[in-house]
Amino acid sequence: MHELKDKLIELAGGVKKASRELAKAETAKKNLALQDIAAEILANREALKAANLKDVEAGKAKGLSDAFIDRLTLTDKRIEGLIAVLNDVTGLKDPVGEIFNMNTLPNGLKVGQMRVPIGVMAIIFESRPNVCIEVAALTIKSGNGVILRGGSDAFHSNMLLTALIRSGLKKAGLPENCVGIVDNTNRESVLELVKLKDYIDVIIPRGGLQLIRLVEEHSVIPVIRHDMGICHTYVDEFADTTMATEICHNAKVQRPGVCNAMETLLVHSHIAASFLPAMKALYDKSGVELRGCKKTLQLLPGIATATEQDWQTEYLGLVLSVKVVDSLDEAIDHINLYGSHHSDAIVTDSYERGMRFISEVDSAACFINASTRFSDGNEFGLGAEMGISNQKLHVRGPMGLKDLMAPKYIIFGNGQVRT
């Protein structure tokens, strides 16, 4: 245990020292590093696919779920996506040093705020190796150091990706220790990492409930929680049912193993009798298992009964809970009771009901007439995301460049003294 602690302190100390250099780097140099990392990925595509294949084969041998394997896999298309993320973040405005809220006081003092890097972040994540690139792109551009601690299931992919990131930093003339990785995937490395408050400013856990709770219970460092995605779509009585059908199918089926996929479908009772049988026929073609409330069972005989636990479950697969509700109020109450405050949608032609929904649903992202699958930093124009925060302090929703900054007050005077 002492050896592990010493190793983590050495790693964190190196990242902290490097982060101070990165915080001073010019935008052009940081952008060059991102482009050099993209070039490294392109040049090592086959090696990356081979490393990822080791992880995928090991995962299948362990009996990991299809959704887990999907999140783990790096296809050619997803590797192109990594390069696209680096290009997108390169094109974003550098937030470091931005001055805002500048005001002149009656005594002549000019008081405002400046955005500065938070410092060092540690992100603890599980199955998705693309996290390495998204996180590195954002932290490099924002002048922050980062410590990556991935799960054992993506070990080979994560280690190679981090090596490519560090190589790109070095080629651009920036310290490679701006990005470090923990090569120990045991539980103990998490427990030790969350105690290093002298080196790390923020801990960001991304993964299942067990990981989130472990970090929250043991961390002495501020935690930004990226929790479950129990997402809902409510089809209102005033919905365009053709639009609703397309949105509800996309939200569940397009990629079911991710946090912004729909897990519960709510349908107003006035249209349920016509909407749900047609929706079920479409879901049947896609292999979706439905679990419904009593009213749903009357309209869709033969499906499973939804239990209390179903309303609280993030399936991450082709399973969907369905509930018929009698009012917008009932839909909102259900979402606020059972949801994870992630992403929820209403389909309606009523402006007033749509505005009520987005005002009263207590979630990080609320949609009107669109799929929850859009709840993503890249889709929102952020270039990438550190994750999607379910909490309210200090950031909520997809966490992008500006969310990696801390404001500090700056004051310009011409000799004022306080009397």
Residue 259 has what pLDDT?
Answer: 92
218 and 236 belong to one structural domain: no
The yes-or-no verdict on residue 387 having pLDDT over 90 is no
Domain that holds residue 391: 2-226+386-412
Give, for 264, the enclosing helix (H) or strand (E). strand 262-268
The yes-or-no verdict on residue 330 having pLDDT over 80 is yes
Residue 380 lies in a domain: no
Question: Burial code of 34-55, b = ≥16 C-beta within 10 A, e = fewer?
Answer: bbbbbbbbeebbeebbebbeeb
Residue 359 lies in a domain: yes
Question: Burial code of 190-227, b = ≥16 C-beta within 10 A, e = fewer?
Answer: bbbbbbbeebbbbbbbbbbeebbebbeebbebebbbbb
State how far the Cα of 74 lies from the Cα of 49, in Å rounded to an integer.
7
Residue 417 lies in a domain: no
Rg of the chain over all Cα atoms, to the nearest angstrom: 23
Residue 135 lies in a domain: yes
Q: Which two tokens stand for residue 312?
A: 């609280």
Which is more confidently placed, 207 or 295?
295
261 and 138 belong to one structural domain: no
Q: How many CB atoms lie within 10 A of CB 80?
A: 13
Residue 379 lies in a domain: no
Residue 282 has what pLDDT?
Answer: 98
128 and 49 belong to one structural domain: yes
Q: What is the pLDDT of residues 85-139, one digit of tens each?
A: 999 999 999 999 999 999 999 999 999 999 999 999 999 998 889 999 999 999 9
Which is more confidently placed, 206 or 311?
311
pLDDT band at 394 (very low <50, low <70, confident <90, very high): confident
The yes-or-no verdict on residue 26 having pLDDT over 90 is yes
82 and 120 belong to one structural domain: yes
213 and 242 belong to one structural domain: no
195 and 262 belong to one structural domain: no
Residue 228 has what pLDDT?
Answer: 87
Residue 82 lies in a domain: yes
The pTM of this model reads 0.90
The yes-or-no verdict on residue 227 having pLDDT over 90 is no
163 and 249 belong to one structural domain: no
164 and 251 belong to one structural domain: no
The yes-or-no verdict on residue 372 having pLDDT over 90 is yes
State how far the Cα of 22 lies from the Cα of 145, in Å rounded to an integer.
8
**Coil, strand, or helix at residue 239?**
coil
List of residues 6+ apart from 165 with CB closer than 8 A = 37, 40, 132, 133, 136, 179
Residue 393 has what pLDDT?
Answer: 81
Residue 72 lies in a domain: yes
91 and 62 belong to one structural domain: yes
The yes-or-no verdict on residue 226 having pLDDT over 90 is no
pLDDT band at 2 (very low <50, low <70, confident <90, very high): confident
Residue 66 has what pLDDT?
Answer: 86
- Report how far apart, in Å, the C-alpha atoms of 58 and of each of 63, 73, 75, 86, 406 are: 9, 12, 17, 29, 41
State how far the Cα of 357 lies from the Cα of 350, in Å rounded to an integer.
11
Question: Which is it for strands 405-412 and 110-117: parallel, antiparallel or unpaired?
Answer: antiparallel
User: Which CATH number covers residue 50?
Assistant: 3.40.605.10
Q: What is the pLDDT of residues 36-82, one digit of tens each?
A: 999 999 999 999 999 999 999 999 999 998 888 998 999 999 999 99
The yes-or-no verdict on residue 208 having pLDDT over 90 is no
State how far the Cα of 409 lies from the Cα of 382, in Å rounded to an integer.
25
Segment 314-337 mean pLDDT: 97
Q: What is the pLDDT of residues 168-184, one digit of tens each?
A: 999 999 999 999 999 99
**Coil, strand, or helix at residue 44?**
coil
Least confident of 58-67, 146-155, 186-195: 58-67
Counting the structural domains of the chain, the total is 2
User: Which CATH number covers residue 252?
Assistant: 3.40.309.10
Residue 419 lies in a domain: no
254 and 151 belong to one structural domain: no
Segment 404-418 mean pLDDT: 97
Segment 245-267 mean pLDDT: 96
Closest CA to 231 of 203, 255, 206, 201: 255
State how far the Cα of 105 lies from the Cα of 403, in Å rounded to an integer.
28
Residue 380 has what pLDDT?
Answer: 94
Closest CA to 399 of 88, 163, 138: 138
The yes-or-no verdict on residue 241 having pLDDT over 90 is yes
State how far the Cα of 11 lies from the Cα of 156, in Å rounded to an integer.
19
265 and 167 belong to one structural domain: no
Q: Which two tokens stand for residue 337?
A: 């009771």
State how far the Cα of 135 lies from the Cα of 68, in Å rounded to an integer.
20
List of residues 6+ apart from 95 with CB closer than 8 A = 115, 142, 401, 402, 404, 405
Residue 130 has what pLDDT?
Answer: 94
State the average pLDDT for the chain.
96
75 and 159 belong to one structural domain: yes
